[in-house]
Each structure stands twice: as structure tokens, then as C-alpha cells.
Amino acid sequence: MSMQIALRHGFADFTLDVTFDVPAGITVLFGRSGSGKSTVIRAVAGLLHPERARIELEGRVLCDTAAGICLPPHRRRIGTIFQDARLFPHLTVKKNLDFGRRFARRSVSEREVAQMVEMLGIGALLDRRPDGLSGGEQQRVAIGRALLSGAELILADEPLAALDEARKAEILPYFERLRDELSVPMLYVSHSPAEVARLATTVIALERGKVIAQGPATEILSDPDVLPVGAAGAGALILATLKMHHPDGVSELSAGGAPLFLPQVEAVPGAELRLRIAAHEVILSPRRPEGLSALNILSGTIAELREEPGTGVLVVLDTPAGRILSQITRRSATALALREGMPCHAVIKTLSIARENYGGGNPRGV
Ligand SMILES: Nc1ncnc2c1ncn2[C@@H]1O[C@H](COP(=O)(O)OP(=O)(O)OP(=O)(O)O)[C@@H](O)[C@H]1O
């Protein structure tokens, strides 16, 4: 399953000019406000007629301006999930799901519906109407409706933006399941680094209407050239395997052979997890620290020192667990005489890796 997108469209003060592929899994369009994310979504959905475009989904041409082809939205076989669920208020959850099915291009069996209902945890809601559901529940129904329409691609335009933190935490695992258990690719818009780290298989980073980087999430998020949200949002994404739960409530993981400790992780030993480690949470020490309360020490080599506007320095450390970013002051960098190629140790407090910063599933970008 894949999609190829090449788009060019100009507004008075803005030109979008992008070319990228959407492979299996979740491809996150990531970038600051005004970088062009929604314009891409609208063009792919068929809600905006671009000046020049070629969009192909599974070998089907949805839009080829050179050939005068531009299919209307209802012929694209694309399901869309917006910030607000946009369910029909007068219909029950079951009828809302049936509505998606009615417009499916292929017949969707009762078994498929039952699987989807189970996957999204909405079985108990089927006879209820949308106004009695929480925002997170409504969004899960909207996802079900989009998937049951027989869509070959799901567009998700900031689907969590209108939810509070508790509802976001409730719905993120469902997106993880869709990513890992379904073959339908998803193009997902977000400007939250934590959300990108948790969900993205592939990241397309946009800036002023151009793609500035694209590739597997682990590479793009650890690349100091790609900080669409600014240095303050910098953080690395590393992959780890859960080893065991200790009786004192700490879970032990292994990241590239290096041990890491987190507060009780809700997963079984052997599970693969992705961890986002924010750059401002990482302390550096040229010598291996001893006698600290912090449990996680990753040893590595400084790959790059990058001056940031203001007083900061972003340090890129290569470790067996992957690239780690650390945001420190220029004063600290000078005091520690940090330089590229130097061995260094990253100290990460166990509690600084918050629940919303780790998630399970297929993180390797396949
Ligand atoms: N219909 C329009 N007419 C003129 N300019 C537009 C139009 N739609 C979008 N733009 C401009 O195109 C640029 C990109 O907008 P777009 O909504 O795609 O960005 P975005 O990355 O989705 O932003 P956000 O995260 O705030 O939603 C902005 O400068 C915006 O003002």
C-alpha cells in the first residue's frame, strides 16, 4: 500500500511545492503553523484544486493536472478524520458506522465491522447518540466510520488537537493499533513532537511550503537540522525492548544493549517501545557520573555541537541506544570543554520520560 504525491499550488503570499511518498503505517506531516500541512491535506482529499499535481494511490491516478484528471472527493476512496468528529447527531453510533459502510466501494462484511468495533473499543457505545459521548469516544467512532467506508488511505488532520490531555492519552493507543494492525496507510497532520514520536512511522517535515526532510521517524526526529518546532521542542526518539518489571515499580528496558529504567510500563516483557527523550531533560557529563539518583546513564560520543539562538547549545550524542539530543547553556558547554568526537555521558532522570512520551508497537518504520 502506498501513495505518491507531487503538488504545487500558490496563494498570494505562499507557495506549496512538495514531492513525497506515503508508505504503509502512519506518515506524519510535521511543521509549524502556516507551513502548508492543511493545504496538502485539502489537495489530497480533493477539496482544493491545485495548480499542478500528480497524486497516485495504489496505482490509481487521483489527480494529474497535466492530463486534465482530478477526481472529486467521493471518488478518491479516502477517509478523512478532522479535529472534530463530525458525526451525524441524530444517528446512533451503529448507524453512523453503517453510513460509512453504505458508501464503501467494496462490500464490508459484518465480520470486518465487528473487528473494527473491537479494535476501537466502541462495542458498548453502539446504541448511543454522539452528544452523549466524550470527545475521545466520538473521535474513535469517526475513525471507525472512515475505515469502514473502504478507504484506501486515511487523512487525519490534527485529530487530537481539540481533546484535553486525558482524552489524548485515551485515544493514542487506538492510533497505534491502526498503525500496527491495519494495512491502510495514514497521512496524519501534527505539530506536537510527542505525538509525532509516539505515532509516526515516517515523518515529512515541512517548512514554508517545502519538504525540508523526509524519512523514518527515528532519523528525522534526532536530526538537529529538522526542528520545525524550534530548539525548545527538540528531542530524540529511541527504540527499546522491555526486559522485566522490578518489584519496586521500575521497569527495565534495553535500548541497543544499554539498560534504561522507567516507572512501571504497562506492557509485557519482550514488547517494543519507542521513547521520546526531550533535549532539555538530558544532563551531560564528560566523566561517568557516580552517586547520582538518576538511573539512566547512556555513554557515547559527541557527534555535533550546535549553537542555538540565545544562550543555548544543542549537543548531539551518538550512543548505542541511538542519537540523543541535549539542550544545555553555552556556559556549561564552555565549562565542560565539550567538543566534537569527545566521549560523554547523558544522564536522564527516570521520571522525565513521561507516559505520553512512550508508546508500543511497530516503531521501526516498516
Ligand atoms: N485559501 C487561502 N487563500 C490564501 N492563503 C491561504 C489559503 N489557505 C491557506 N493559505 C495560506 O497558506 C499558508 C499555509 O497554510 P496551511 O493552512 O496549509 O498551513 P498549516 O501548516 O496547516 O498551518 P496550521 O498548523 O496553522 O493549520 C498560510 O500562509 C496560509 O495563510
The pLDDT tens digits of the residues spanning 125-148 come to: 999 999 989 888 898 899 888 888
On the 0-12 / 13-18 / 19+ scale of CB atoms within 10 A, 271 is middle
CA distances from 330 to 32, 228, 281, 304, 347 (A): 26, 22, 16, 14, 18
Q: Which ligand 1 atom sits nearest the alpha carbon of residue 38?
A: 22
Give the residue carrying C-alpha cell 551531560. Answer: 284
Locate 25 and state its grid cell.
Answer: 503505517
Task: Average the pLDDT over 166-191 and give the result.
Answer: 85
The pLDDT tens digits of the residues spanning 314-334 come to: 999 999 999 999 999 999 999
- Rounded to two decimals, the ipTM of the complex is 0.96
d(CA 182, CA 185): 8
pLDDT band at residue 171 under the 50/70/90 scheme: confident
Task: Average the pLDDT over 30-43 and give the result.
Answer: 91
Mean pLDDT in the chain?
86
pLDDT band at residue 100 under the 50/70/90 scheme: confident
What was the pLDDT predicted at 177? Answer: 82
Q: Whose CA is nearest to atom 18 of ligand 1?
A: 36
**344 and 302 Cβ atoms separated by less than 8 Å:** yes
Locate 301 and state its grid cell.
Answer: 560520543
Give the residue carrying C-alpha cell 522525565. Answer: 352
**Residue 290: other Cβ atoms inside 10 A:** 7
d(CA 69, CA 53): 10
d(CA 94, CA 90): 12
CA of 161 to the centre of ligand 1 (A): 17
Structural domains in the chain, sorted by start: 3-225 (3.40.50.300), 235-360 (2.40.50.100)
Most informative mutation of 35, 189, 191 for ligand 1 (most atoms within 8 A of CB)? 35
Q: Which ligand 1 atom sits nearest the alpha carbon of residue 42?
A: 18
Locate 347 and state its grid cell.
Answer: 544522564
CA of 36 to the centre of ligand 1 (A): 6
What was the pLDDT predicted at 101? Answer: 79
Q: Whose CA is nearest to atom 2 of ligand 1?
A: 11
